[in-house]
Each structure stands twice: as structure tokens, then as C-alpha cells.
Amino acid sequence: MLIVKKFGGTSVADKERIFNVARRCIEDYKKGNDVVVVLSAMGKFTDVLVSQAKDINPNPPKREMDMLYTIGEQQSVALMAMAMDSLGVPAVSLNAFQVKMYTTSAYGNARLTGIDTERIKNELESRKIVLITGFQGVDKMDNYTTLGRGGSDTTAVALAAALHADECEIYTDVDGVFTADPRHVPGARKLDEITYDEMLDLASLGAGVLHNRSVEMAKRYNVQLVVRSSLNFSEGTVVKEAVKMEGTLISGVASDKNTARIAVIGLEDQPGVAFKLFDHLARHNINVDIILQSVGRGGTKDISFTVAKDDLAEAVATIERHRETSLRCEKVDTEENVAKVSIVGAGMMSNPGVAAKMFEALYDAGINIKMISTSEIRVTVLIDAQHTEKAVNAVHNKFF
């Protein structure tokens, strides 16, 4: 069997944990499997790099940021190879450049475009454990890129797809995917299984266990994932196409404080306005989330939407730049102390009243809703950030 195993930062945070991971990988290797291991940077090292950068330059060039980021993952794989060597098992560490893990040039948010598997296959053939840096890539011009924070999951899934792996295991510091963040919601419970679509929504909405692109990719290439703890041997959560219904309407509640609201007030009420607004933002690689357009009155309308906090300044600057020309409007308002709270579940497709039940829970908790957006399997509300934990608990208690 060919197994791809990915370990997050907490799983390789110190010497003891590095050896713990080394032993788990060696166990699979000794059973005769080919083992490819993707690692994240140790502990919070990536955050340390961010503060180092910001201390030197509050607005570091994105290319240089990626150049800096890559050392975190490189440290992990090299140390892991040394740990395995000391345990008498041959291993080789490879970074994205050595593998040739190609991406677009969107620094900080690059997309994988192709992986050269030859080197990896050769190393596996010579019976080495192959350790690969997560999160990073190289573009056509040989610049380092990164896939976005948390991107090592995506590296692992992409490798599993490219190598036609038999298993792809994502190791983390919790037992799997939970109905809500167990650190904040005492009643949260672990799910045995979850569909790609539900996981994709939960991941995008702040569940924090998997990088959303990794789930997208797993669905596209039909890579079954197991999310489990590196600290114990419990079963984990299987992420796959279809799962047996467990009789609950929803699979989880997620929240995300990394969000900000922008309101563009007094736009002309004419065809093409929304197109221009969001086209400008898309050209700057700014992802837009909940969108709300008011009813037009007196020839004008308002459009409000949410973006990630990090993108707020650039989004506003982009709009301001076009205000005099293609985007005439009265003013641009922003609000940063907001959070998204979402419920996700395939069960809501066939059960009316799920959204109402969520709104009731928020009403009972005295929490005001600022924006709402829905899909077939999801309801998201935007609320004051200070009420996030209270809202998640209230909603979770209502459904579970």
C-alpha cells in the first residue's frame, strides 16, 4: 500500500512529538508499505515568522513572505529525517523545489497546478520514507510560493491524488471532525463520517480542522481522507462522498472571526454595477463571501459583503480607486468586529425549518443577526464578534 500521512504543527512541536510521529510512520513502513509524509512547520513557528516579518516591514512583499515561510516546513522535514535515521530507518526530506510541486504565482495563496512524482517514486522504490514539506510550491519562474495558511493539508491530498495513494491520513491534535469546536462547546461530539460537501462548508466556515482547498481537491479526485489524532490511536473521522445518515439534521456548527463587512452605499441602480464591483475585487485576488444587495430606491442601491480581515484594507483601497470612474457611490462603510456562525448539514435539504430553528436559538440567546446567507446544505449568519461563543453554544444546543 502507498500511504500519505500528514502531520500538523502541534504534532511535530518538539523533540518528543517528532519521535512520536517518526515511530508512527515507521510502523507503517515496517509493514511493507510505501510511506510519504507531509509535515507542517513546528508548533506556531509560522506565526513567529509572520511577526518577524511584520517587525521589519509591516507590509512585507508577498514573494519574500513566501520565501520566509518555506523555512518552517523545511526545518520539520529535515529534523524528521534525522529522527528516522537515528531510529535506523532510511528517510529523505524534499522541499517543493526538489519535488517540483508546481503552483500558480499567487504568492500567499497559490494553487497547485502539477506535481512531478518521479523523484518521490524513485525514493520510495529505494525503500525510503519520503518526507515532504507541506504548504509550499514553486512557480514557473522557480519562485517559492505558499498555498495559504493551513495549506499543508492540500499538499497531502494533492500528493495522495498524484501518487494514487491507497490512504490519506491527516493527523492533528484533536480526535477528528467535531460537531463544533470542542474547546469552546462542551457538548461537541466527534463525527465518524462526513461528506466532502459538508466538510468543505465546515472547513471554509472556520471549523479549523482541514484546509478548504484540501477538501475540494479530495472531492475532485475522490481521495478518501481520514482525520485523526497523532496523540492517540482513536479511529478519527472519515471524509468521503456519501455517508449513512445519523438521524441529525446538521453535522456541525462553525464560526469564523476572520471576517469583516464592507458596505458600499448609494451605488447606481443599473445593470453591471455588481459585476464591476466584484470584478475589481476578483482581479486583486480578494475572496468575497456573504453578499447582500438592498432593494433599489431613488435610483440607488447598497451592496454589502464580507471578506477575510486580512483583505479588508486592500478591498477598500480597490473600491476607493474606482469610485470616481466605474464605481460611483456615496460612501464605503466597514465593520471589523463581526463573526460568521454557520450550520452545515446534508440533512437540511429534505427538512424545512432548519434555518428557522437556528434563528430561534439566536433569538433566545438575544443575539442580533446582521446578514444571512444560505445554500442547500448551509446557513450562515453574521453577528457581533463578541457573541460568537455564546451563539455557537446556543445553536449547537438546539440541534444536538
343-381 burial: b if 16+ Cβ within 10 Å, else e: bbbbbbeeeeebeebbbebbeebebeebbebeeebbbbb
Q: How many residues bind Mg ion (CB under 5 A)?
A: 2
Q: How far is the CB of 41 from ligand ASP (least distance, A)?
A: 4
Q: Does 134 bind ligand ASP (CB under 6 A)?
A: yes
150-179 footprint of ligand ASP as x/- string (CB under 6 A) = xxx---------------------------
Q: How far is the CB of 351 from ligand ASP (least distance, A)?
A: 35
Cell of 102: 508546481
| DSSP conformational letter for 192 | S
Residue choice 4, 8, 197, 393 for contact with Mg ion (CB under 5 A): 8
Q: Does 252 bind Mg ion (CB under 5 A)?
A: no
Q: At how many degrees (to 10) do helices 212-220 and 152-162 cross?
A: 10
Determine contact, residues 187/252, Cβ cutoff 8 Å: no
Residue choice 135, 171, 196, 305 for contact with ligand ASP (CB under 6 A): 135
Q: Does 9 bind ligand ASP (CB under 6 A)?
A: yes
Indicate which of Mg ion, ligand ASP, none lies near residue 151 (CB less than 5 to 8 Å, by partner kind).
ligand ASP
Could you write out the DSSP letters of every residue in 58-82? SS--HHHHHHHHHHHHHHHHHHHHH
CA distance 152 to 171: 11
Q: What is the 3-state secondary structure (H, E, C) of 91-120?
A: EEEECHHHHCEEECCCCCCCCEEEECCHHH
Q: How far apart are the first and last CA of the chain?
A: 38
Q: Which stretch binds ligand ASP (CB under 6 A): 20-28, 39-47, 184-192, 214-222?
A: 39-47
Q: Does 72 bind Mg ion (CB under 5 A)?
A: no
Strand partners, 373: 380
Strand bridging mode 91-94 / 136-138: unpaired
Residue choice 5, 26, 28, 46 for contact with ligand ASP (CB under 6 A): 46
Residue choice 2, 18, 29, 40 for contact with ligand ASP (CB under 6 A): 40
Q: How far is the CB of 15 from ligand ASP (least distance, A)?
A: 19
Q: Does 149 bind ligand ASP (CB under 6 A)?
A: yes
Q: Does 29 bind ligand ASP (CB under 6 A)?
A: no
Subset of 123-152 contacting Mg ion (CB under 5 A): 150
Q: How far is the CB of 136 from Mg ion (least distance, A)?
A: 14
Q: How far is the CB of 74 from ligand ASP (least distance, A)?
A: 11
Q: Give the SS3 label for residue 228.
A: strand
CA distance 398 to 391: 11
| DSSP conformational letter for 251 | S
Q: How far is the CB of 211 from ligand ASP (least distance, A)?
A: 7
Q: Does 62 bind ligand ASP (CB under 6 A)?
A: no
- Residues of this chain that bind ligand ASP (CB under 6 A): 8-9, 40-41, 46, 72, 134-135, 149-152
